[in-house]
Amino acid sequence: MKRMGMLRAMALCLACLGMLIPTPVLHAAIGHTGHVNRAAGQPSAVVDVELHNGGMLFGQVRDSRSAPLPQTPVFLIQSNRPVRNTITDRTGGFSFGELRGGTYQIISGRACGTYRLWAPNTAPPLAQPAVLIAEHDGVVRGQPGPIGYWLSNPWVLAALVAVAVAVPVVIHNSRERRAVE
């Protein structure tokens, strides 16, 4: 009986401790590597894009209202080294030629994306035929309500989890004591 109680107490302590460890520490411990959208500070997923004949990559830059952005500089970067740059045409379109497959970053103004370029006829079925870069005016967030404010606090969440774990343990232990008596 004492061993079960000790195991329950250890499980409760580990659950509480897990809630207190910051996420970046956990990511570092498990070797998490994510692509970061350096221009906007937001995580970005890698998008598969199929190159056209001659290693041509086509794309378009649009603003937050989906209007094309003419005369906007576009930079192509691979392994943190600039590869090419261009300026969009009157429709916001751009192109780069003679590219080889690989992972590239495309940066334009306040937008950045990571793209895996595939040689013609080698791309996965869901690969995009072109790149679409959408510039953003900035992050707009609404104010959380009172419940959202409290639930976003990690200490409040930790307390709720601790209570959710402790209550069933106490109920179970009280039933065991009654059964013994």
DSSP percent split of the chain into helix, strand, coil, nearest 5: 35, 30, 35
Cβ–Cβ < 8 Å for 91, 76:
no
Task: Choose between 144 and 126: higher pLDDT.
Answer: 126
pLDDT band at 77, cuts 50/70/90? very high
Task: Choose between 139 and 56: higher pLDDT.
Answer: 56
Helical axes 2-20 vs 154-180, angle rounded to 10° = 170
* CA–CA distance, 68 with 180 (Å, rounded to integer): 76
The per-residue pLDDT for range 85-132, each reduced to its tens digit, is 999 999 999 999 999 999 999 999 878 899 999 999 999 999 999 999
Name the average pLDDT for the chain: 81
pLDDT at 67 (0 to 100):
92
How many other CB atoms sit within 10 Å of the CB of residue 62? 19
Average pLDDT of span 41-58:
84
CA–CA distance from 143 to each of 146, 147, 148, 154, 155 (Å)? Answer: 9, 11, 9, 18, 20
Q: Show the tokens assigned to 123.
A: 């791309």
User: For the domain 36-134, what is the CATH superfamily, name and number?
Assistant: Carboxypeptidase-like, regulatory domain (2.60.40.1120)
Cβ–Cβ < 8 Å for 128, 117:
no
Residue ranges per domain, the chain? Answer: 36-134, 153-181
Task: Choose between 45 and 73: higher pLDDT.
Answer: 73
Asked whether residue 27 carries a pLDDT value surpassing 70, the answer given is no
Closest listed residue to residue 58, CA positions, set 36, 91, 82: 91
Task: Choose between 136 and 143: higher pLDDT.
Answer: 136
* CA–CA distance, 65 with 75 (Å, rounded to integer): 22
* CA–CA distance, 14 with 20 (Å, rounded to integer): 10
Q: Show the tokens assigned to 6.
A: 């000790």
pLDDT band at 37, cuts 50/70/90? very low
pLDDT at 56 (0 to 100):
96
